[in-house]
């Protein structure tokens, strides 16, 4: 399906979001190509292109990539809940860490059209993608649970004994806040 650019970019953006929402709900078949009702838009002279180039912001970013990565973050959050229910507390917070990272990287894809570089410090990643100070704190709280960092001081067999169910549930709340923040950016206007 093709669409004429008649200057109504809000309508075109809504159609693209509708297409992506349909793909999320119905799934995507590997046997049929992914299509969009909206072709990529070229920048015009009145798009403040100079300002965007300096900031790194890409109008529209990589919406499809951002939604895909956000969906992975949501799946990791669901897995974190399962791990908590099974009493595997470190696995729970590890999945919370992964969910928060993917959510922040989805914001990066949406805003800049690429993932941001970082060193497993989720607070720094939050700053790189323009998160508020409060959101950077929520992200930073999950940084210690990257397995590479966590296992430096804790043997794997002791990991679940270090974190109790109440702590794991609190970290899940932090990760959920991050996902809500990212959702509003990735799926927002």
Q: What is the pLDDT of residues 15-39, one digit of tens each?
A: 766 766 665 665 554 444 444 443 3
HSE on the CB side for 170, CA within 13 Å?
6
- How far from 77 is each of 15, 60, 120, 178, CA to CA, in Å? 28, 26, 18, 11
Of 109, 28, 113, 29, nearest to 67 by C-alpha is 109
Contact indicator for 128, 52 with CB cutoff of 8 Å: no
What span, in angstroms and rounded, lies between the C-alpha atoms of 69 and 11?
24
Q: What is the pLDDT of residues 41-74, one digit of tens each?
A: 443 444 443 333 344 555 668 899 999 999 999 9
pTM equals 0.68
pLDDT of res. 133: 96
Taking only Cα atoms into account, the Rg of the chain, rounded to an integer number of angstroms, comes to 19
* 80 — pLDDT class (breaks 50, 70, 90): very high
Q: Which of 2-11, 17-26, 67-76, 161-170 has the highest mean predicted lDDT (pLDDT)?
A: 67-76
Of 111, 120, 132, 84, nearest to 185 by C-alpha is 111
Per residue, the 3-state secondary structure of 86-144, as one string, reads: CCCHHHHHHHHHHHHHHHHHHHHHHHHCCCCCCCCCHHHHHHHCCCCHHHHHHHHHHHH
For the chain, list the domains and their CATH numbers.
9-23+57-186 (1.20.120.330)
């Amino acid at each position: 399906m093709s669409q004429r650019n008649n200057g109504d970019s809000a309508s075109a953006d809504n159609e693209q979001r509708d297409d992506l929402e349909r793909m999320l709900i119905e799934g995507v078949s590997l046997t049929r190509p992914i299509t969009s009702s909206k072709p990529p838009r070229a920048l015009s002279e009145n798009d403040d292109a100079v300002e965007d180039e300096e900031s790194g912001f890409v109008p529209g970013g990589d919406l499809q990539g951002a939604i895909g990565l956000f969906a992975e973050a949501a799946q990791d959050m669901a897995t974190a809940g399962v791990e908590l229910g099974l009493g595997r507390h470190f696995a729970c917070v590890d999945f919370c860490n992964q969910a928060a990272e993917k959510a922040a990287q989805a914001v990066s894809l949406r805003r800049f059209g690429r993932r941001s570089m970082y060193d497993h410090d989720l607070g720094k990643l939050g700053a790189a993608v323009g998160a508020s100070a409060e959101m950077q704190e929520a992200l930073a709280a999950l940084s210690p649970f990257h397995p590479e960092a966590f296992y430096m001081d804790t043997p794997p067999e002791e990991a679940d004994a270090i974190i109790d169910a109440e702590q794991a549930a609190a970290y899940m709340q932090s990760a959920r806040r991050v996902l809500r923040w990212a959702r509003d950016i990735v799926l927002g206007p």
